[in-house]
A and B are shown apart, each in its own frame.
Chain A
Amino acid sequence: MAIDKSVIGKTGKPFTMPIEWSKVREFARAIRDPNPVYFDPELAKKECGGIPVPPTFLQIAAFWQDSDSMPTVHFDLRRILHGEQEFELYKPILVGDVLTGTARIADVYEREGGRGGKMTFMVTEIEYKNQRGEKVALARSTLIETGQAVSG
């Protein structure tokens, strides 16, 4: 399948992401992190000024949005790999904040792979601002569609 370079630069509709304690706590449990700052609001207030989020927490935003907020290229779910993920965190993100995220396709390209055959790469960036309009984070994802199923 030929790749469509015209999607590069395509931006999604901005989405709202409230930072909720129950979600932060559930996420910390899921990654087996017992750090009390995620579970004890009093302690968190003293140590962090509020309940902070784990470094990869913003990843969840990618999965809860409407398709018009998440521009994408069509990938076959059986052949999809998450190649890289990067978070740049500029300012604290605390429970109670309401973030606005804007996603953008930063790049799409092909590369010859080894076992997997030809691979297609898509780089997506989501920029987050908080309720004060401050830029708090940038999440950069690289997804790969392999030529064949991703067996171990």
Chain B
Amino acid sequence: MAPKIKYESVKIGDALPTITIDNVSRADFVRYAGASGDFVPLHYDQTFVEAAGIPTVFAQGMWTAGCLSRTLTDFAGAGNVRRYKVRFARQVWPGDTLTCRGKVTGKTEKDGEKLIEGEVEVLNQKGETTVRGNFTVLAS
């Protein structure tokens, strides 16, 4: 699994590829529920969420984190992500448009491996952060 990025050519502050997720829909949540097995009813059952006092269903945090992970795999190549951590800040609702982006914040060599570190985030159409995270990927 050859690393896709060259350590020497990456600079601190470099941007990762930006991914746009437009028109988030309830179908995304249902599809992710099936793919992941996450059948927490908050994400597909309108009757359940209304009874809990929530206006409508919202995305599984890990669906959004999965969409965001594409910034890492597009940047470093699938299979070269060494660490990925996300924190959920705000719900993602049907109709939202999301921007997934990130940047390089550090470079380090450890145990003979060349590693790139950085931060990523998902913004909604109002510019609010819904998920933020950080990562380590492998370079050559």
Contacts and interface: CB of A to CB of B under 8 A. Distances in A.
Contacts of B109: none
Contact of A149 (B41, B53, B90): B53
Given A56-B84, A82-B61, A88-B82, A149 B52 contact: yes
Contacts of A150: 42, 52, 54, 91
Contacts of B38: 59, 63
Interface in B38-84: 38-42, 48, 51-55, 58, 60-63, 65-67, 69-70, 72-74, 77-79, 81-84
A92 B48 CA distance: 39
Contacts of B11: none
Interface residues of A, number: 41
B69 A152 contact: no
Contacts, number: 134
Interface of A: 23, 26-27, 29-33, 35, 37-38, 47-49, 52, 54-56, 59-60, 62-64, 77-78, 80-90, 92, 149-152
Given A84-B85, A152-B91, 20 more contacts: A30-B66, A32-B21, A33-B67, A47-B78, A48-B77, A48-B78, A52-B78, A56-B65, A60-B37, A77-B41, A78-B52, A80-B42, A82-B60, A84-B87, A85-B86, A86-B84, A86-B85, A87-B85, A149-B54, A150-B91
